[in-house]
Structure 1
């Protein structure tokens, strides 16, 4: 269990921690000289069997509230300290408001210096404290008078802490590892050490981690968990990690950084949140209101963009936070906002979406999506998000933003009864209803297209993708279409899609003309085919009729019209794509010239350039100056119609 102190300056927080643990948490020379806590202090003690209770002692002075916030984010139990002689003071109220905004619900109020006050004063102060606690998450906690100087009730306090330690449920270590750094220093003979509270998951000696947002990679050399040497640190513990790696130093890692599982490294500067504004605020928060953002041990400037109108004092609303610098965080984490002059706490709340959009951020669809994302259970959130526009969830982003392990993600998928589409672009989830809607819309759109265009081979794949709901990324869309083809509902023909019953046929005379032309488009000269007028001269046919038949065959997918006068069979076009892939693969950077391609197909420079420009238009190749490279995302246009259709499975299986 991690216990955090809270309360006004000079109310005896550090003295009380020393009485409980035997450790003076004021470690800095200036702290001892001035007799006040300036930075976070730490101490440990055993109250319940072998369990180790950790204490974070925070400053009480108003100038150091930002430091208090750096320690308050990971506590399990609050020790709110009020001096009997001084009573409730400004930082008592502000610290309590912060604990309330952070959702801390377990704790105890200690009336310190209680041996110096008469019983009636203690009773009066207890009543005042109860009124102060009433509207907060700590409304049900007890009040205990103590004296660190005389030792009065210290044993009773230790027993309360022992009971709380036994009642503390071990935090789940199933999620991915995150530790909020509050100190970074160099230890002689060891190197760089960082300390902080483990917010989720676990880490072991030898594991690779990333320091975010800087993106430094490190290896765990050793671990101290709850002030003891350990092989593993888990969620809910205070840990010291000895790190090794290129660029790792005490100056490279600062308070506010996060040590985390490398898969979670995705710092952000734009976050949609649910914000509660304290009723002490003088006026509503409107567009571009400036504030200081506090999350875990991080602090940065922020601008507030309300999403549902100005947020009034004492109310709650959705807002977008635009941060001055990137931070590493997770959906569901708590945050605090203070004013830019660091004189008051404005409010706080929960993070809802780490990938907040710049545009269309206030639409009803967007606000409904945030309502879904606000659900704390991952499975319930996923189910709700799948029923909200855009009706599609990128599972990698979903798991990353919530620090979910693969097992937790699979559990959420099962709970949401989600359908999964796996493709080169990743895993995407949609509900069973929207998966069926997708299939139905494909059928409807193709039927309409065929009715309007009876002489065309089929509908362009990209055109179809942009009209179907939910709109899938191109690789996922192709995977879904292949599943539709495997079920016999559609036929894929290169870049075109049609229903099985639709077929455009040539007349007998047109087939005869095509049969005469085809031999000239195949064989050794397939990369150097005749022009239309050459066919007319060799076959003794009308040039306009030959051009009409060739264009009709191109619409049917038998041929590709490279230029006005040049046609290639679809098989030859696919063969040239493979040649281009081979040419590019043999160059140092995957870039090639027209001359390299021309030499492989052994045709003229002009025709080779015409062919490459055709591939440029289709997106197969990307040109920069005289060089081209392959676009791997478009190669499937000529990959054939017999590729695997696997990839669509049910999350219920």
Structure 2
């Protein structure tokens, strides 16, 4: 780096500077290009800004007028969208969104100049409020209120507002440094205070992500309302699968926020997590009188069938309107029925009896072959194979060749 032919360690704005850039040809560099440390700036096709129209401007500025936007040494053709009026008269100020034909990089607080498209003449300028905005709706009280807060000189107000505008995604600490044009130390200080005031909440420490209290409360209410509605519509189900719930909420696009809310509500005792099933704390499966009768009949079918039960689809066909699958899941959750493979269930007493017999046999003989196990169960291979594989899965037995031995001494 050199300033007026003298080496320099650092330079500031306004100094004519020569920089030796490795790996680039001179022809690749254009007027208006910006040199910055990696990942410190972001390019944009829009800026939100305060706009002052000079008293000397030859005419008022109409909404969607074509202009020349000047920032730094760049000149970019742009469209001015007036956010609170159709015409900006000479000497007036308003909020505007300037939509650029080409991308550029600006920082909050940067000054810019507007020149008329033709003939080229300086007509106004202003200050950048948001260097990375979304498209704004005109005549929106909410939009104008947001811009009013962002134009404040108070970093606490600015950062809170940027986080709030992030809605259910929130903002990261590094992004806030760029948006607010503040150093890391200052941003960290402000975030710490805002978190202490509970205005914002850090929902991901790993990624240093923050969300405003209002969208967090909204997302939390939505999740609890969906859970409540699910229980109301599915009284025989213990709860909803975690991923199914996520897909129905704003967490569908922000898994980190969803997990934060679930864990937060679990810690508060509002939501109960059982494996991958979520339910409200007060939810209990309740059976009507006829459903209790069906529950008893299904259990009795499996108890009497012992080690040769029918597949559940056969059982369920006897109860076409009784939500047999839901009642089955209740019996499984209570531990009365045990799933051995898809659609094949056994009564707990039958499994316990077989486990005891198998354990005694292996303790005495050391191993058991498929034929011996088939004789022990008194069933066909249709049942004996799934049953021995079930005991493998339960880590009672381990396969050695075609035989089974105890996985560990009991």
TM-score (normalizing by structure 2):
0.64
Equivalent in the alignment of 2:256: 475
Counterpart-to-counterpart distance in 2, 1:296 and 1:343: 18
Name the counterpart of 2:30.
254
What SS does the aligned partner of 2:59 have? coil
- CA–CA distance in structure 2, aligned partners of residues 400 and 515 of structure 1: 67
Candidates 311, 314, 325, aligned match of 1:550? 325
- Aligned pair in 2 of structure 1 residues 484, 401: CA closer, same or farther (>3 Å)? same
Secondary structure class of the residue paired with 2:153: coil
1:400 equivalenced with 2:182 (yes/no): no
Asked whether the 8 Å contact 2:82–2:94 carries over to 1, the reply is: yes
Deviation at 1:340? 1.5
Please say if 1:300 is aligned against 2:76.
yes
Q: Is the CA contact (8 Å cut-off) linking 2:52 and 2:93 kept in structure 1?
A: yes
Contact 2:311/2:343 (<8 A) preserved:
no
Q: Which runs of 5 or more residues in structure 1 are unaligned?
A: 1-222, 519-531, 559-565, 570-653
1:485 to 263, 266, 285: 266
> Given the superposition, is the C-alpha separation of residues 441 and 341 from structure 1 closer, same or farther in structure 2, using an over 3 Å criterion?
closer
- What is the CA distance between 1:355 and its match in structure 2? 3.3
Q: 1:398 to 1:440 in 2, by over 3 A?
A: same
User: Deviation at 1:329?
Assistant: 1.4
Aligned equivalent of 1:291: 67
RMSD over aligned CA atoms reads: 4.0
* 2: CA distance, partners of 1:488 / 1:377: 38
CA distance in 1, matches of 2:100, 2:228: 49
Q: In structure 2, how many angstroms separate the alpha carbons of the residues matched to 1:555 and 1:378? A: 55
**Distance in 2 separating the partners of 1:350 and 1:568:** 70
Partners of 2:184 and 2:344 lie apart in 1 by: 48
SS at match of 1:477: helix
Q: Do structure 1's residue 382 and structure 2's residue 382 form an aligned pair?
A: no
The residue number in structure 2 matching 1:429 is 211
Q: Which has the higher strand share?
A: 1
3-state secondary structure, aligned to 2:50: strand
For 1:411, the equivalent position in structure 2 comes to: 189
TM-score normalised by the chain length of structure 1: 0.42
| 1:322-333 matches, cutoff 5 A | 322-333=99-110
- Identify which of 45, 53, 57 aligns with 1:269: 45
Match of 1:513 in 2: 298
Change in Cα spacing, 1:388 to 1:354, as seen in structure 2 (3 Å) is: closer
Alpha-carbon distance between aligned partners in 1 of 2:234 and 2:275, rounded to the nearest angstrom: 18
Please give the per-residue CA displacement for 1:55-111, whole angstroms capped at 9, x wherever unaligned.
xxxxxxxxxxxxxxxxxxxxxxxxxxxxxxxxxxxxxxxxxxxxxxxxxxxxxxxxx
Equivalenced residue count is 318
Q: Matched residue of 2:28: which SS?
A: coil
Q: Distance in 1 between matches of 2:271 and 2:239?
A: 10
Structure-2 separation of matches of 1:274 and 1:556: 66
CA distance in 2 between counterparts of 1:456 and 1:545 reads 17
Per-residue deviation, 1:549: 2.2
Note closer, same or farther for the CA distance 1:290–1:464 as it changes in structure 2 (3 Å cut): same
Q: Which sits farther off after the overlay, 305-314 or 397-406?
A: 397-406
Q: CA deviation at 1:327?
A: 0.5
Residues 436-515 of structure 1: pairs in structure 2 closer than 5 A: 439=220, 442-443=223-224, 446-447=227-228, 450-451=231-232, 454-458=235-239, 460-462=244-246, 465-466=249-250, 473-492=254-273, 497-504=278-285, 507=292, 510=295, 513=298
Decide whether the 8 Å contact of 1:536 with 1:542 is kept in 2.
Answer: yes
Aligned counterparts of 1:557 and 1:416: Cα–Cα separation in 2: 48
| Partner in structure 1 of residue 354 of structure 2 | none
The 1:307/1:494 distance shift into structure 2, 3 A limit, reads: farther
Q: Which runs of 5+ in 2 are unaligned?
A: 304-308, 334-341, 346-410
Q: Deviations over 1:598-639 (max 9, x none)?
A: xxxxxxxxxxxxxxxxxxxxxxxxxxxxxxxxxxxxxxxxxx
CA shift in 2, pair 1:454/1:233, >3 Å: same
Is residue 295–residue 327 contact of structure 2 (8 Å, CA) maintained in 1? no
SS in 2 for 1:262: coil
In structure 2, C-alpha distance between the alignment counterparts of 1:276 and 1:385, rounded to whole Å: 24
